[in-house]
Amino acid sequence: MDTFQDDFDWSFKAKHPFKVIVVGAGIAGLAVALGLKKAGHEVVILERVHQIAEVGAGIQVAPNAARILGRLGLLSEVMEKANVLDKNSLRRYANNEELGTAPLMPQLTGTSSRVVRAVDDFEAKVQLESGEWVSGDVVIAADGIKSDLRHQVASHHGVTDTCQPTGDAAYRIMISKDQMKGDQRALDLLNHNVGMRWMGPGGHIMGYPIKNNTVYNMVLLHPQKPGDPNEESWTNKGDKKEMLSFYRNWDDLVRSLLSYVKDDDVMEWTLNSHFPLPSWVENKCVLMGDACHPMLPYVAQGAAQAIEDAGVLTCALSLTNSVPKALAVYESVRKERAERIQNSATVTRKALHLPDGEEQRKRDEAIRGSTQGSGKNPDLWADSSWQDFKWGTDVMKDTVDNWDNLVARSHGYHVHAVQAIGY
């Protein structure tokens, strides 16, 4: 990534500096806050937790995210601690056979302030759990998959904001280099920047090195157990014995890796789908990131799509003195694209978890063929045409270069969306 090139100059200053309230200090919230601050806006970040700590699994910085992080001045710092995966290796679960490979990084040019609600008419004013109100010119809800403001926007449109179980759950484990001592196969995985994607009946595993090749990160997809609550949390404890039982017929390399995990170091969470909202924008309040398009992990675009949101919001709010106009353009640029990528995860999930049989054999042949340049890869993460769509689109440049057309189009888009939901 040292060769990252960018001929797009976005170093403009805001036409009209706004006071922006950002709800949530995760990847989405911090990215948009930094972009807006650089453009000259006044930014207030509200976060519910007392301390920002490591939560979740490894984050994959796809090229579409790297492009924007470079413009925010963050890419070099991120890459100092990152592992740049050379490729993704698609493998059979039972014998570790490599079916094909796919490139992953082509060269492309403490506050304790939980926001509980917005004011009823969605002016740029939010109420904290303490009862205090905070006002500005625009509110950006980057408060994640459990967003309180998402619920309020959905309710305003007569939509019940519920999650739909996918039937999958995921274990998250991290194995240190010390735990691998004496196991040369495991150490080889740790020392090579290759993503390993093992596909098997009912589940798959994604593994790759993190923290400068000192820790091996694994996310293990498997069927959700009957009766398990559909709680969306990264911090629930998993059961190592249950994990070993599900993967007992997988290749011995996989089983060897899992054996190194301490009993208390297995985390588990359920994977749920969220139906698209009628709108991400209500007056001067706007949703971004997981608050409006939570991504399942099958195509590794959760963080990237949140960063794309940040890039477009930075541009849109800096090119006009009208908050409604900026938010309408943002939704026009981002909603269809993000939801299309969101939906691609469901398609990919089915391809990854096929039981052994004729359909699985056809999938494997398609993967082999796509690696040789023939046909579509059923694993959309590895499909070259889908990679072009995900990674090759420059949402910031598109927003700036097509601003006038987007303003005109977004007006029609907004009217159509409002009429479609009965307003």
CATH number at residue 317: 3.50.50.60
CA–CA distance, 394 with 8 (Å, rounded to integer): 10
Closest to 379 (Cα-Cα) out of 189, 190, 104, 166: 104
Same domain? For 258 and 314 the reply is no
Same domain? For 279 and 342 the reply is yes
Secondary structure class of 24 (helix, strand, coil): coil
CATH of the domain at 223: 3.30.9.30
CA–CA distance, 61 with 59 (Å, rounded to integer): 6
Active site residue 150: no
Residue 3, in any domain of the structure: no
Same domain? For 196 and 267 the reply is yes
Residue 245, in any domain of the structure: yes
The domain in which residue 49 lies consists of 19-81+107-163+275-420
Among all chains, which residue has been given the structure tokens 């919230």? 29
CA–CA distance, 125 with 286 (Å, rounded to integer): 12
pLDDT, one tens digit per residue, over 307-347 is: 999 999 999 999 999 999 999 999 999 999 999 999 998 88
Same domain? For 124 and 235 the reply is no
Domain count, the chain: 2
Same domain? For 258 and 300 the reply is no
pLDDT, one tens digit per residue, over 34-58 is: 999 999 999 999 987 765 555 555 6
Same domain? For 387 and 415 the reply is yes
- Quickly state the pLDDT bin for 206 (edges 50, 70, 90): very high
Provide the pLDDT for residue 418. 41
Same domain? For 211 and 327 the reply is no
Same domain? For 215 and 307 the reply is no
Residue 9, in any domain of the structure: no
Provide the pLDDT for residue 5. 59
Phi-psi region of 131 (alpha: psi -120 to 50; beta: other; left: phi over 0): left
The residues, any chain, with a CB within 8 Å of residue 257's CB and separated by 6 or more, are 175, 186, 189, 207, 216, 218
pLDDT, one tens digit per residue, over 372-381 is: 778 899 999 8
Given 48, 71, 91, 172, the catalytic residue: 172
